[in-house]
């Protein structure tokens, strides 16, 4: 079971949300389940995912935490790991894939460590191993989150960017980050440029 869902039920949820029952989300489901089993009941938990790949979707499908509501943050170390913590005390549980535990699961190991070329991957066997292994490929550690480092920023004052004319938090500087050329791969959207009246 993955948080009260059977493996097949969860695979259906993942497929509807993500487009396919991606192995990373299926393992992620077992990681969320393991974390919840290790946390004291009744707390209010936020979560940090250490990768943007797959794992955040498992969290968003199985818990009230989402990127949009701010209870899920991605801090991309590239490790396939998540950490739930009590939002008032910072005490929590970190779950990660433990390479020592992969030896008995050759399909998972080959896929996870990218040892098996994609063309040689046996998806059915991989999914069967993921189902059988459950959280058996994971280890858990206690963590203590420094709450001042994850505090939600209160929204400050808003300014109109003198270049594009759009509202943005004035603490970001005298121009919005788009117009400073820091962020976007499609230009800054300068006032009037390329604007369409309506789309049909």
Closest approach of Zn ion to the CB of residue 64, in Å: 34
Closer CB to Zn ion, residue 64 or residue 162? 162
Number of Cα atoms under 13 Å in the Cβ half of residue 4: 4
Closest approach of Zn ion to the CB of residue 191, in Å: 9
Total number of residues binding Zn ion (CB under 5 A)?
5
Closest approach of Zn ion to the CB of residue 164, in Å: 3
Q: Put the strands of the sheet holding 81-86 in their side by side order.
A: 72-74, 45-49, 81-86, 91-97, 138-144
Give the footprint of Zn ion on residues 157-186 (CB under 5 A).
161, 163-164, 176, 179
Distance (Å, rounded) from C-alpha 49 to C-alpha 113? 19
Closer CB to Zn ion, residue 102 or residue 176? 176
Question: Which range binds Zn ion by CB under 5 A, 36-44, 65-73, 118-126, 154-162?
Answer: 154-162
What's the Cα-to-Cα distance from 57 to each of 20, 136, 149, 152, 175, rounded to whole Å? 12, 20, 24, 21, 34
Closer CB to Zn ion, residue 5 or residue 190? 190
Closest approach of Zn ion to the CB of residue 163, in Å: 4
Closest approach of Zn ion to the CB of residue 28, in Å: 37
One character per residue 23-42, x = contact with Zn ion (rule: CB under 5 A): --------------------
Closer CB to Zn ion, residue 1 or residue 183? 183
What single DSSP character describes residue 116? S
Whether 23 and 130 have beta carbons less than 8 Å apart is answered as yes
Distance (Å, rounded) from C-alpha 123 to C-alpha 11? 13
**Closest to 1 measured CA to CA, from 129, 135, 107:** 135
For the chain, counts of helices (H) and of strands (E): 6, 7
Closer CB to Zn ion, residue 70 or residue 162? 162
Applying CB under 5 A, the residues found at the interface with Zn ion are: 161, 163-164, 176, 179
């Amino acid at each position: 079971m993955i948080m009260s869902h059977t493996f097949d039920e969860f695979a259906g949820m993942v497929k509807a949300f993500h487009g396919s029952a991606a192995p990373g989300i299926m393992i992620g489901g077992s990681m969320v389940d393991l974390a919840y089993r290790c946390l004291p009941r009744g707390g209010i938990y936020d979560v940090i995912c250490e990768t943007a790949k797959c794992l955040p979707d498992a969290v968003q499908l199985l818990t009230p935490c989402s990127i949009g509501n701010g209870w899920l943050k991605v801090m991309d170390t590239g490790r396939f790991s998540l950490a739930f913590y009590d939002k008032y005390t910072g005490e929590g549980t970190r779950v990660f894939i433990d390479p020592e535990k992969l030896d008995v699961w050759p399909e998972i190991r080959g896929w996870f460590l990218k040892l098996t070329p994609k063309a040689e991957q046996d998806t059915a066997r991989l999914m069967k191993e993921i189902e059988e292994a459950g959280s058996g490929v994971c280890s858990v550690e206690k963590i203590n989150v420094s709450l001042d480092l994850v505090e939600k920023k209160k929204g400050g004052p808003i300014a109109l960017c003198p270049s594009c004319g759009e509202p943005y938090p004035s603490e970001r500087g005298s121009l919005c980050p788009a117009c400073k050329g820091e962020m976007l791969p499609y230009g800054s959207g300068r006032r009037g440029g390329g604007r369409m009246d309506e789309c049909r």
